[in-house]
Structure 1
């Protein structure tokens, strides 16, 4: 087990926290069944987006993102695979002009964090357009997330490249606040996180590296001080990971593993 440690900083008047594990993944012992055949039906991937490459740490990320944004309305941009996300989530997105970008090949915050860039989708057939040139086919998609299962479904859409990225914007509930969020992510002017989050938002970018030389990260930003909540969550996940690794040899089949993932993540996939 490698503890989840966030580096704290300030930028644009916001509190920013970055978890950059490099090769030291949070879960260091893995269930051997991830490398075996799975029966039909519910599997580690269908339920938690866990496979034999992106392993149990993905369930930890799902739980961490969900618990960190508790009490807020959550909206996500699954980077690039907008139309795939529409299929896996079963709903149409709000189209926006800007999305966040993280360079998964970089190991330091200064090189990794690119900020907002013009949105694009897999239907884009030319270089990334500037916002004032975009057509709907080129724009990013902002999807509401109702449950952790929706976050997993968004991961299903993007986990197919050397690296994958989902950005979650959590804001106060209500249509008016959602309208302010989409307005901030539209138009020809590059937004700032301060503008997008307002006074009540929490930003979480989850990047997962799949190929060699690509690395995971969780980037969090908020106008509010989240350090106590992050400290509580990371301490809780340290306990959950330790308990999981100690029980690893008791897991006999996929149902056992799925029950263990629920305990590891600390969330019910179908609960708000």
Structure 2
């Protein structure tokens, strides 16, 4: 087990906390069944986006993001693969002009964290685009997340490149607050984190390195310092990881593993 530790910083009017594990991902002992054949229905990947490359640490990240944003309304931008996210989540996004970007090949905050950049999309205009397609093809999409299963679906949408990234914006519930969030991510001028988050928002960027030379990270931003809350969560997840690694020999099949992922992550996939 490699303890989760965040580095604290302040930038552009918000508190920023970064977890940059490099090669030392949080879970260091893995279930051997990840390298064996799985049943055809519920698998580590379908349920938790866990496979034999991006392993149990992914469940830790998903649980961490969901627990950190408890009590708030959650919205996500799955980077680039807007159309696939719409298919998997079964809902249309709000279109915005800006999204967050992390360079997954870098291992230091100064080089890795690029902040807000113009939105992108895999959707192409085609040879004869409609006016709507021409205007909106390249924009990012913000999707509401109702349960942890939605967060997994958003991650599924982007796990197809050398790295995968989803950005979660958690704000006070209600349509008016979401309208303010979406408005802050629109327009020709690059927004600052403070403008996007307001006085009540929490932002979490989850990036997963899939290919060799690409690395995971969690980047958290908030108008108020979250270090006490992060310290509580990292301590709790440390205990969960330790218990998981000690109990590996008791996992005999995929259902056992899926139950273990619920304990490891600290969340139930279908709970709000």
TM-score, normalised by the number of residues in structure 2: 0.96
**Which runs of 5 or more residues in structure 2 are unaligned?**
127-133
Structure 2 equivalent of residue 101 of structure 1: 101
User: How far apart, CA to CA, are the structure 2 residues paired with 1:18 and 1:104?
Assistant: 13
User: How far apart, CA to CA, are the structure 2 residues paired with 1:237 and 1:226?
Assistant: 16
1:243 is aligned to 2:247 = no
1:65 is aligned to 2:62 = no
**How far is the alpha carbon of 1:124 from its aligned partner?**
4.2
**How far is the alpha carbon of 1:13 from its aligned partner?**
2.0
Structure 2 equivalent of residue 8 of structure 1: 8
**How far is the alpha carbon of 1:135 from its aligned partner?**
1.6
Structure 1 equivalent of residue 270 of structure 2: 270
Q: How does 1:33-72 map to 2 (within 5 A)?
A: 33-72=33-72
**How far is the alpha carbon of 1:225 from its aligned partner?**
1.8
Structure 2 equivalent of residue 131 of structure 1: none
Look up the SS of the partner of 2:75 in the other structure. Answer: strand
**CA offsets 1:18-56 (integer angstroms, 9 cap, x no match):** 000000010000000001110111000010000001100
User: How far apart, CA to CA, are the structure 2 residues paired with 1:10 and 1:16?
Assistant: 6
CA RMSD of the aligned region, Å?
Answer: 1.3
User: How far apart, CA to CA, are the structure 2 residues paired with 1:191 and 1:58?
Assistant: 29
Structure 1 equivalent of residue 162 of structure 2: 162
1:23 is aligned to 2:38 = no
User: How far apart, CA to CA, are the structure 2 residues paired with 1:185 and 1:59?
Assistant: 29
1:207 is aligned to 2:207 = yes
User: How far apart, CA to CA, are the structure 2 residues paired with 1:140 and 1:5?
Assistant: 30
Is the Cα contact below 8 Å between 2:95 and 2:140 reproduced in 1?
A: yes
**How far is the alpha carbon of 1:125 from its aligned partner?**
7.0
**Which runs of 5 or more residues in structure 1 are unaligned?**
127-133
User: How far apart, CA to CA, are the structure 2 residues paired with 1:51 and 1:112?
Assistant: 25
**How far is the alpha carbon of 1:160 from its aligned partner?**
0.7
Moved over 6 A (4+): none
**How far is the alpha carbon of 1:220 from its aligned partner?**
0.1
Aligned pair count reads 266
Is the Cα contact below 8 Å between 2:101 and 2:115 reproduced in 1?
A: yes
User: How far apart, CA to CA, are the structure 2 residues paired with 1:215 and 1:268?
Assistant: 26
TM-score, normalised by the number of residues in structure 1: 0.96
Look up the SS of the partner of 2:143 in the other structure. Answer: strand
Look up the SS of the partner of 2:137 in the other structure. Answer: helix
User: How far apart, CA to CA, are the structure 1 residues paired with 2:92 and 2:123?
Assistant: 15
Q: How does 1:225-240 map to 2 (within 5 A)?
A: 225-240=225-240
Look up the SS of the partner of 1:135 in the other structure. Answer: helix
User: How far apart, CA to CA, are the structure 2 residues paired with 1:215 and 1:43?
Assistant: 24
